Chains A and B, each alone.
Chain A
Amino acid sequence: MSTIQTSLPRGVAISEPSAWVRLKTNRNVIALWFMLPAAAFLILFLAYPLGLGVWMSFTDEKIGRSGVFVGVENYEWLWDDSIFWLSVFNTLLYTIVASAIKFAIGLYLALLLNRHMPFKAMIRAIVLIPFIVPTVLSAIAFWWIYDSQFSIISWSLIKLGLITQNINFLGDTSWARASVIIANIWRGVPFVAITLLAGLQTVSPSLYEAATLDGATSWQRFRFITYPLLTPIIAVVMTFSVLFTFTDFQLIWALTRGGPVNATHLMATLSYQRGIISGRLGEGAAIATAMIPFLAAAIAISWFGMQRRKWQQGSDQ
């Protein structure tokens, strides 16, 4: 110690850092600078528009004309609008049916992929391809597959003798709904499967071996080992899946644009139709704002799932 002290020149005391230096090294101040770019983007183009959207839903703004406050008129108008309620119904139908089937097939596919087989890595990589390719581009392929005259599905079914004439996939209301749901499932299954597979891989195989020795059937192994250990990740994955299905726009727009006779209009597509194409920004914003309660519910569920997961992990650490 003393050697160090003597090596210092005499009279040079270690001075108190100046206010500027303290400011420069204050972690809160540094953090402010570090957060600035991200915060700027998120506030300018996310938080502000979110608030602006709610405000616009209370005005009669149109494209090229600023609006005045009209209270809940837009909502009253929508309340009596059967097309709006049809779009709510379609959205719920689309979300519930597509999410349920995506979950079932996704979980099944994840269980298959988790088994031992040759070329496992390659097969897993291939499974994810529908998720990589831009939705609109694969939707265009589905558009062609669903073509009213040259559909390959109709052709195959006719050749197999199951039907006698072409199915009008996107022209008939029920078929159109089924068709967009199938296309959505096709695109969503890889996401569900690969994320659940990542969860499955954390389940130790010795649990299954122990259960088998105790005489458990394969259903019991799934029900009492796989499912409980997978519940938290299922909660998160399905919340994301529901969220993205509920707010889907591009698949519908590329395939049907809401037709035939509004049978496939989702709230997002109706909002675009009214807000941008017809130019009634206020009304479109009101439809978009009406989606927020549903999203809040989905987020609450996701939050609950994550908390539960943290609790589970805390207990085994």
Chain B
Amino acid sequence: MTDTTLHAKAPTTAGSDESEGMSYLESLPRRLVTLYLPLFIILVVLLFPFYWMGLTSIKPDEQLIDMEKYNPFWVVHPTFKHISKLLFETQYPRWLWNTMYVAVGATTLSIFASVLAAYAIVRLRFKGADTVGVLIFFAYLVPPSILFIPLASVIQAYGLFDSPLSLILVYPTLLIPFSTWLLMGYFKTIPFELEECALIDGASRWQILVKIVVPLAVPGLISAFIFSFTLCWNEFIYALTFLQSTPNKTVPVAIVNEFVDGDIYKWGSLMAGALVGSLPLVILYAFFVEHYVSAMTGAVKE
């Protein structure tokens, strides 16, 4: 119980977060050297690639390659040429749409399957529930890098090669173990007295799940959804292996394969592509930081 509530809202449970602790004992110069300076350096390093991505995508070509005349860390006459070229002269919108379609499809399927599985493991306590829980944890640890070759022949056999549907069917293997594990933690925190009441009132298991458990586990569902969506968007090796034709590709695969034409001026549109492809996730993340963090730490702590 303590374990699951902890990860459900990790940032608020810790006493150290709200209280000042012993930090008042430190002098300002000391804090400056031991805290703010190293933190600032780390933050700059972590964020620099994004700055560079954004800057490059609005820099005119001549400034990109002339590093003597123009200071490369700044841009003089920003241009939207790269971004408009990306959006109107390439199939980028199509790739973005594919990625979105695959991510939403695979995530929805996975959450549906995970809710059912997690509920069964935690609350139905069927014979062998613990073993199934452990097996699902192991499934979480099987990486795509060792599965893509046999999966390619499975996908070929089902006739799904070069179809985004293949990704919608395959991605749940990455998402279900994680979401099930996460949701098991949330379901455990729901008092089972509620379910007992419902059972006495004649509710079926399905009704209990839909009308009691799921509404109470909404924060967990959001966490699972956000994290799964991010994983789908990020996935590369399956998409690279299964998708062949240009219009069917997802953003990460298309960026790597379609823009590499040896053109010295490719960098502007390449960076614009990376930036536009990252933005949806960053925006989503900005709205759901807490859920995202609890999903990440929850999966590890469980």
A: residues with CB less than 8 A from B are 27-28, 30-32, 34-39, 41-42, 44-50, 52-53, 56, 61, 105, 108-109, 112-117, 121, 123-130, 132-138, 140-142, 144-145, 147, 149-150, 152, 155, 186, 189-191, 194-195, 198-205, 208-209, 212, 233, 236-237, 240, 243-244, 247-250, 253-254, 267-268, 271-272, 275-276, 281, 284-285, 288-289, 291-292, 295, 298-299, 302, 313, 317
Contacts and interface: CB of A to CB of B under 8 A. Distances in A.
Interface string B138-177: 1101111111111111100000000000000110110011
* Overall SS of chain A's interface: helix
Contacts of B46: 126-127, 129-130, 186, 189-190
Interface in B26-57: 35-36, 38-39, 42-43, 45-47, 49-50, 52-53, 56
Nearest to A109: B42
A158 B65 CA distance: 16
Interface in B266-299: 267, 270-271, 273-275, 277-278, 281-282, 285-286, 289, 292-293, 296-297
Contacts of B89: none
Given A285-B150, A295-B146, A34 B117 contact: yes
Contacts of B292: 128, 132
19 contacts: A35-B132, A38-B136, A38-B176, A38-B180, A50-B142, A50-B147, A53-B149, A105-B42, A133-B50, A135-B252, A155-B72, A191-B296, A205-B21, A209-B21, A236-B301, A249-B144, A276-B152, A292-B146, A317-B2
Instruction: Give the residue among A49, A186, A195 with the most B Cβ atoms within 10 A.
Output: A49
B234 interface: yes
B53 A37 contact: no
Contact of A112 (B38, B141, B274): B38
Contacts of B114: 38
Nearest to B45: A186
Instruction: Give the residue among B234, B277, B300 with the most A Cβ atoms within 10 A.
Output: B300
B271 A144 contact: yes
Interface stretch (B6-14, B186-194, B217-225): B6-14
B193 to A, nearest CB: 18
B49 A212 contact: no
Contacts of B277: 134, 137
A47 B205 CA distance: 29
A106 to B, nearest CB: 10
B149 A276 contact: yes
A53 B252 CA distance: 25
A92 to B, nearest CB: 15
A129 B285 contact: yes
Contact of A46 (B67, B139, B152): B139
Nearest to A310: B3
* Overall SS of chain B's interface: helix
Nearest to A316: B2
Given A127-B46, A140-B271, A198-B10, A134 B170 contact: no
Interface of B: 2-3, 6-7, 10-11, 13-17, 19-23, 35-36, 38-39, 42-43, 45-47, 49-50, 52-53, 56, 64-65, 67, 72-73, 109-110, 112-114, 116-117, 119-121, 124-127, 129, 132, 136, 138-139, 141-154, 169-170, 172-173, 176-177, 180, 205, 230, 233-234, 236-237, 240-241, 251-253, 255-256, 267, 270-271, 273-275, 277-278, 281-282, 285-286, 289, 292-293, 296-297, 300-301
A236 B282 CA distance: 27
A126 B47 contact: yes
A53 B23 CA distance: 55
B51 to A, nearest CB: 9
Given A35-B120, A240-B300, A136 B145 contact: no
Contact of A271 (B53, B149, B252, B300): B149
Contact of B256 (A48, A129, A254): A254
**A-B residue pairs, 6 tightest by C-beta:** A201-B14, A31-B126, A34-B120, A38-B117, A247-B143, A268-B145
Contacts of A244: 143
